[in-house]
A and B are shown apart, each in its own frame.
Chain A
Amino acid sequence: MFRSRTRFRAYSLAASCLLLGVSSSALAGDAPSTIDPLNSPSWQYVQARYFDGQKLIFDDRIKVLAPTAAEDPLDVPIMVTSDGIADVEEVVVIADLNPIQKILAYQPKRASPDISFRFKVEQSTPVRAAMRTKDGVWHLGGTWLSAAGGGCTTPSGGSSGLWQGHLGEVNARIWPREDKNQRLRLRVIHPMDTGLAKGVPVFYIDQITLRDDSGAELATLQPFEPISENPVLSFDLKNVGPVHVEGHDIQGNTFTATIQP
């Protein structure tokens, strides 16, 4: 925390120097890449919490596609795209100003790092995707989402208990794509309760694994509390053929499905 604060001051100084027309060469070695293009009030905190001591650059190739305004704060559709950045080992999606910031972590093994999902937003916030490449560098892109809010502190529609007979039920389909790739779209019935709504304990799916027919992992995903109720996810897999889905929630309930192309 202290380290991060110091670093921020240094960059502020660098920025002032540039404004004053003073040569920045003395500071150039310490590239000011962590000046947040989204100008988030929480950036220092987010950086310290999730990326402390790690290499990080803002990268225009990473896009977070979101509606300009959240029509339904309980169900904001997001698509993360990477414009072909190679060797992405992990993707993390964070909403800076959500009471629970981390939305998901994704490890695309034989899959594109691009992923689509929906999440619950509490107030207007930056939404950013960070992609860690093989060389250990985090590449960050993002956007501001405007929202009336209240998404995280509202009980799930399913908190009435209607989901109980259908927990873990999977709807899914595979679409062939060019170059021996395929799109998997998946919906799992789950209340995905954040624990922030009064009287409704935290309850969410925390692991989904996708495997090919030989049992080799295609991708692994850790959803967190902000993912919307009955998650709908789209994956772009670098394989063809059946996909085995297995997952569980924080109470150990499991679900499995085999989707035939």
Chain B
Amino acid sequence: MRNGVIGLATFVSVAAGAGDDYHLQPVPVGDSAQVFVGKTEGFARGNGGNIVNTGFIVGTDGVIVIDSGPSRAYGEQQRAAIEKQTALPIRQVFITHAHPDHFLGDQAYSGIAISALPKTIAAIRDHGEALSDNLYRLLGGWMLGTRLVPPDHAAQPGTVIVAGRKLRLIAAQGHTDADLMIFDEATRTLFAGDLVFFQRAPTTPNANIEQWLSTLDTIDQLDFQYLVPGHGPIVQDHAAIAQTRDYLRWLSTTLHNAATRGWDIQEVMQTPIPERFRSLSVLDQEFPRSVTHLYPDIELNVLPKQTAAKHE
């Protein structure tokens, strides 16, 4: 399977020519944090998986990187772009969670500590290979040479000093079962990972909506000046949190109501989506995906257990 996929990737790479330059340009946030803002799209050959926000913070004696992107090429180009901005060495990479657009650039940081929450590390070890295979299928040549490198350091929640910079590491859950947020105290910049989306429909393959909503309440209490969502434009207010919450609440209510009415999955997928969400990009792909992820557990809750099995 893997060989076949790699073969395909090689072929596509040749066909696409020099298509693997992500043209990464950091956008300054505050005075020392910067963000590579990805497109608000889904994985596609046209974007090479650059659909994610990654970032870095320049400390007094080094640099902190937040998420390494979807491929080896992305990680290498991200590192080169950072090294153009500063001569200080990269001290640490934080991986916010175990989704492939956030950690498959790890290879570019060999020899540097890569930290993530323990459950994130376990999930990357267990499922990273399958996730990477799927990106080979979706992105083709962009993935050339990408290998799985699981983070090797367990991130400890709380305040830490890295590269002379005071960071608050916040462990949360909801988007996945381990979501790490990084709060830079000096610039009051919150790297929220995929706990917050903006102008792009949230993804839910490993989500627990109730936990996620509760985490959003926690994020609302944080005294940030800038919030960097995992996907979508950087904000200086609570609009992205409110939008993510609004969408998740609607999604959860819609699915629970459908289950109570006895609908099957395909009927749920026909649900009209409220006008206020129509502007979210990739909504038409993400809503049916979310129904597939979340509905099976919800529907089972309304199907009472009947007479036990009879073996003859």
Contact = CB atoms under 8 A, between A and B. Distances in A.
Given A77-B266, A116-B265, A172 B312 contact: no
A232 B312 contact: no
A245 B306 CA distance: 10
A67 interface: yes
A255 B261 contact: no
Given A67-B292, A71-B292, A168 B309 contact: yes
B305 A116 contact: no
B266 A257 contact: no
Given A75-B296, A169-B305, A170-B306, A116 B311 contact: no
Given A67-B292, A77-B266, A185 B308 contact: no
Contacts, number: 95
B307 A185 contact: no
Interface in A145-198: 148, 150, 166-173, 175, 183, 185-187, 189
A116 B264 contact: yes
Interface in B245-275: 261-262, 264-267, 269-270
11 contacts: A65-B266, A71-B288, A75-B292, A77-B264, A77-B292, A171-B304, A172-B306, A173-B262, A173-B303, A254-B312, A258-B307
Interface string B282-300: 0001001100110010011
B1 interface: yes
B310 interface: yes
B296 A67 contact: no
A189 B137 CA distance: 33
Contacts of B270: 65
Interface residues of A, number: 39
Interface of A: 65-68, 71-72, 75, 77-79, 116, 118, 148, 150, 166-173, 175, 183, 185-187, 189, 232, 234, 245, 252-259
Contact of B1 (A65, A150, A186, A253): A150
Lowest 8 CB-CB distances: which A-B pairs, in order? A168-B309, A175-B262, A79-B266, A77-B265, A257-B306, A116-B264, A171-B303, A234-B264
B236 interface: no
A171 B264 contact: no
B303 A257 contact: no
A183 B302 CA distance: 14
Given A167-B309, A173-B302, A185 B288 contact: no
Contact of A185 (B137, B303, B309): B303
B134 interface: yes
Contacts of B303: 171-173, 185-187
Given A68-B288, A171-B300, 6 more contacts: A118-B265, A169-B306, A173-B304, A232-B296, A253-B309, A254-B311
A75 B265 CA distance: 11
B299 to A, nearest CB: 7
Contacts of A77: 264-266, 269, 292
A234 B303 CA distance: 12
Contacts of A67: 269, 288-289, 292
A125 B266 CA distance: 18
A27 to B, nearest CB: 39
A175 B261 contact: yes
B311 to A, nearest CB: 6
Nearest to A176: B262
Given A65-B266, A232-B296, A148 B309 contact: no
Interface in B23-48: none
Most buried by B among A71, A166, A167, A183: A71
Nearest to A248: B312
